Chain A
């Protein structure tokens, strides 16, 4: 049981001893994307190899450290030396990995990076893995600060991701977990906590960017009992999975943040609303909650402070609109996810009409850091208007796809070129899409823009929840706009006319444009409709629905014109405007294209030229992928 700060401190000391016990350890990254690349089999192979040697090697699970493009990842702690991160590990590597771990050497084939000390962010100290000099081959492995993907990153929200076993409360505590909650509940008054959050400059990380301290303050002052704190883990923006990584890698960080928040606001009941498409995250948070309840970190009289607090998990049921705060609350009430007008804010009248404070996963996760390290320290990171760090999902046409956490204010160029490693296959950068379906596409001339709330909004996009999708010259921007509108039409709740009817009509126009039926005046019509939808819609889904269209129109108007006036798709993506043809000079008659054609419209004889029947061709591009002689041409 952990009923007093002293008991917590005791457990922290003993858990820390175990964490740094000097045994060789292998941590396998087993969050969702790790598992999808085969980490489970790697884990099993390592266990088997370790057992065969009857060894003292601990094989554990951990979350995702963000380097998703290199998964499966395995971290090995070499006692007395360092921690080595191995990338692209296969089950076949298990024997040698285990051998090297036990011998204190490096399996150079997969070695990616090295860390000489275990860093404890909450208390700000480092514990070196060893005191003596490192073996030369260990030293050869570059430090994290030397690896381009990691060099410019700063893991605050991701402080424990990839470093601890998310199923272990002890490890969370060993890393300083719950120390901030203990301090907040026993040494600080609610008003002090709110003042600290205000001073830190923390702004909502879910997309709204609203000052968190001010939200808490208004909620605290609102009339009505009971009050509620809610964690929005619905993470609906396609291409964004930061919150999932945090829940899967460090679920207790959210619980701790909510304990502190609930105390500051005066809430005794909390909810975590997780989208059901994240089954592992649901499992992890449920387990963490059970652990916290079992030892008294949740429940009655937490740390002897007199504050009671429990948290329930609700799953989403497949509706993007439930990421909107009033729709989320409607869903918690068992109703459809229909938003309502926010003329009276949810902090005053939210769940069941009571004061409710809803924050995003990453926001809650930052709270213990601010309480532990201080508001001023946090405010020293980032820019004037955007303090702290932000986790982004860097995906799409970029060499290093994964999650990154950087201080606010870092430039887009740094993100794409230095951290992301630039565009693959020798292609050209065309745009970076930020802010999900509410955001927009930013072209190359703005790559030096700092990543912060105001700067991205000034360009017509927004930071949103942190999704960053890189696009190259083979991406059609009109198609991208159409994609987002299709998404929003699917996800619109259907209540208000501008969104329900307007997104469908905008989609009609864009579909016409992409299929060669664009007419003069379409672009002006899109602008006019966009204005009406933005002004007239009930909730942010509707009001921001035109953004992807508006930003692509702003920066890529020539591409729209080509579609409308010339019925041409410069990026050669829009199926109705392109043709696949087999170049008879290059075709060897190998028939691979015909074999893989889903519509069976490629005909020919072996060793003779094959041809595509245009009337049946659906432009899927499978023949282009199959051909090894560059004989398939898109025009």
Chain B
């Protein structure tokens, strides 16, 4: 295990340095080398599940395929992001995902880059409606960033799904929509209707708060309450939508933020 200090290695022929504990993906981003990802997001811990970010690491006569989102390089590693082996692996991953989720345009786009038009596998056919690729970003965001742990995986193998416990209405969901925002395939949806937000896939309905100034419903009660207590917000700001905060309560906002309402 490396301790402290930078690690010099080669990335696509360029001599680079990784900081202590820095992954190949992070270095690549820094120097402008593109590596595709699906289950990665800087706001959450890496998971290494989609296998799209694979690269090939050479040392001596040998090489191995690793996921760049987790792999931290060793000194003098020779890392290549576009070898035949890498491209073939990414191609198979995308082909498999397209067989699972044939209607996801983002997957088709990525697939085309790697030569996949239609998957060669049976699966259920192009009418299949599944959009979830089980990347787990929604789960990690809900757990690590929002701190609610409202959703998680269930079952194993191909039967794996993302769900609330018992696939029932959630007691923990606050309707913040972070899962919707972070999902790479648009598999999660919510609808604001009649003063309530329905998190469709999580079968959870939550009442919305109306802005004290303009009257628009802008966030769920539970989300507002959570943010209010985390940021120690005065009531006027908490019950105001973002646009009105910026106009009606601009000075109070500045005062609150400058005086250091702590966030975490």
Residues of A whose CB lies within 8 Å of any CB of B are 222-223, 319, 321, 336, 340-341, 343-344, 348-349, 489-498, 500-502, 504-505, 508-509, 512, 525, 528-529, 531-533, 535-538
| A532 / chain B contacts, CB cutoff of 8 Å | 88-89, 91-93, 96
| B122 / chain A contacts, CB cutoff of 8 Å | 505, 508-509, 512
Within the complex, the shortest CB–CB distance from B3 to chain A, in Å, comes to 8
- Cβ-defined contact, B67 with A535, below 8 A: no
- Cβ-defined contact, A500 with B93, below 8 A: no
| B153 / chain A contacts, CB cutoff of 8 Å | 336, 494
B85 at the interface (CB under 8 A from A): yes
B51 at the interface (CB under 8 A from A): yes
User: In the complex, A222 Cα to B85 Cα: how many Å?
Assistant: 33
Write 20 A-B pairs (CB below 8 A) sorted by A numbering.
Answer: A223-B1, A321-B156, A341-B48, A343-B66, A343-B71, A344-B1, A492-B157, A492-B158, A494-B156, A494-B157, A497-B133, A498-B51, A498-B96, A500-B160, A508-B121, A529-B92, A533-B92, A536-B51, A538-B51, A538-B67
Within the complex, the shortest CB–CB distance from A413 to chain B, in Å, comes to 34
User: In the complex, A532 Cα to B84 Cα: how many Å?
Assistant: 11
User: In the complex, A525 Cα to B71 Cα: how many Å?
Assistant: 30
| B92 / chain A contacts, CB cutoff of 8 Å | 498, 502, 528-529, 531-533, 536
Residues of B whose CB lies within 8 Å of any CB of A are 1, 47-51, 54, 65-67, 70-72, 85, 88-89, 91-93, 96-97, 99-100, 120-123, 133-134, 153, 155-160
Within the complex, the shortest CB–CB distance from B81 to chain A, in Å, comes to 14
Within the complex, the shortest CB–CB distance from B164 to chain A, in Å, comes to 17
Given contacts A341-B70, A343-B71, contact A497 B96 (CB under 8 A): yes
- Cβ-defined contact, B67 with A341, below 8 A: yes
- Nearest chain-B residue to A491 (Cβ)? B157
User: In the complex, A537 Cα to B64 Cα: how many Å?
Assistant: 12
User: In the complex, A387 Cα to B90 Cα: how many Å?
Assistant: 40
Given contacts A340-B48, A508-B122, A536-B93, contact A500 B157 (CB under 8 A): yes
Given A319-B156, A336-B153, A341-B66, 6 more pairs with CB closer than 8 A:
A492-B158, A494-B157, A501-B99, A505-B99, A508-B123, A532-B96
Contact of B123 among A500, A505, A533 (CB under 8 A): A505
| A495 / chain B contacts, CB cutoff of 8 Å | 47, 49, 160
User: In the complex, A378 Cα to B89 Cα: how many Å?
Assistant: 43
Q: Could you say which of B66, B121, B122, B157 has the most chain A C-beta atoms within 10 Å of its C-beta?
A: B157
- Nearest chain-A residue to B74 (Cβ)? A343
Given contacts A341-B48, A501-B99, A512-B122, contact A536 B66 (CB under 8 A): no
- Cβ-defined contact, A490 with B157, below 8 A: yes
Given contacts A502-B92, A528-B92, contact A497 B158 (CB under 8 A): no
- Cβ-defined contact, B88 with A505, below 8 A: no
| A348 / chain B contacts, CB cutoff of 8 Å | 1
User: In the complex, A536 Cα to B64 Cα: how many Å?
Assistant: 10
- Cβ-defined contact, B50 with A497, below 8 A: yes
- Nearest chain-B residue to A488 (Cβ)? B157
| A222 / chain B contacts, CB cutoff of 8 Å | 1
User: In the complex, A470 Cα to B54 Cα: how many Å?
Assistant: 39
Contact of A494 among B1, B48, B67, B160 (CB under 8 A): B160
Within the complex, the shortest CB–CB distance from B24 to chain A, in Å, comes to 10
| A533 / chain B contacts, CB cutoff of 8 Å | 92
User: In the complex, A498 Cα to B156 Cα: how many Å?
Assistant: 14
- Cβ-defined contact, A501 with B100, below 8 A: yes
User: In the complex, A348 Cα to B74 Cα: how many Å?
Assistant: 15
Given contacts A492-B156, A494-B134, A498-B96, contact A349 B1 (CB under 8 A): yes
| A340 / chain B contacts, CB cutoff of 8 Å | 48
| A498 / chain B contacts, CB cutoff of 8 Å | 51, 89, 92-93, 96
| A531 / chain B contacts, CB cutoff of 8 Å | 88, 92
Given contacts A341-B66, A533-B92, contact A497 B72 (CB under 8 A): no
Within the complex, the shortest CB–CB distance from B53 to chain A, in Å, comes to 11
Within the complex, the shortest CB–CB distance from B42 to chain A, in Å, comes to 19
Within the complex, the shortest CB–CB distance from A295 to chain B, in Å, comes to 39
- Cβ-defined contact, A343 with B96, below 8 A: no
User: In the complex, A532 Cα to B120 Cα: how many Å?
Assistant: 14
| A525 / chain B contacts, CB cutoff of 8 Å | 120
Within the complex, the shortest CB–CB distance from A411 to chain B, in Å, comes to 31
User: In the complex, A331 Cα to B74 Cα: how many Å?
Assistant: 29
| A502 / chain B contacts, CB cutoff of 8 Å | 92, 96
User: In the complex, A633 Cα to B6 Cα: how many Å?
Assistant: 73
| A535 / chain B contacts, CB cutoff of 8 Å | 54, 65, 85, 88-89
- Nearest chain-B residue to A525 (Cβ)? B120
- Nearest chain-B residue to A492 (Cβ)? B157
User: In the complex, A348 Cα to B47 Cα: how many Å?
Assistant: 20
User: In the complex, A341 Cα to B122 Cα: how many Å?
Assistant: 30
- Nearest chain-A residue to B161 (Cβ)? A494
User: In the complex, A180 Cα to B69 Cα: how many Å?
Assistant: 46
User: In the complex, A586 Cα to B125 Cα: how many Å?
Assistant: 48
- Nearest chain-B residue to A532 (Cβ)? B92
Within the complex, the shortest CB–CB distance from A529 to chain B, in Å, comes to 7
- Cβ-defined contact, B54 with A536, below 8 A: yes
| B51 / chain A contacts, CB cutoff of 8 Å | 496-498, 536-538
